[in-house]
Amino acid sequence: MDFIYPKANLIAGVDEVGRGPLVGAVVTAAVILDPNNPILGLADSKKLTEKKREKLFVEIQEKALCWSIARAEPEEIDNINILHATMLAMQRAVEGLSITPDFVLIDGNRCPKLSMPSQAVVKGDSLVQEISAASILAKVIRDREMVELDKVFPEYGFAKHKGYPTAYHLEKLTLHGATEFHRKSFAPVRLVLAMKG
Dump pLDDT digits (tens) for 14-42: 999 999 999 999 999 999 999 999 999 99
pLDDT band at 197 (very low <50, low <70, confident <90, very high): low
Residue 14, classed as helix, strand or coil, is strand
pTM: 0.95
Task: Give the containing element (helix H, strand E) for 31.
Answer: strand 26-32
Q: What is the pLDDT of residues 65-84, one digit of tens each?
A: 999 999 999 999 999 999 99
Nearest to 32 by CA among 157, 109, 116: 116
Q: What share of the chain is helix, strand, coil (3-state, %, to 5)?
A: 45, 15, 35
Instruction: List, for residues 154-185, the tens digit of each pLDDT value.
Output: 999 999 999 999 999 999 999 999 999 999 99
Q: What is the DSSP letter of 182?
A: B
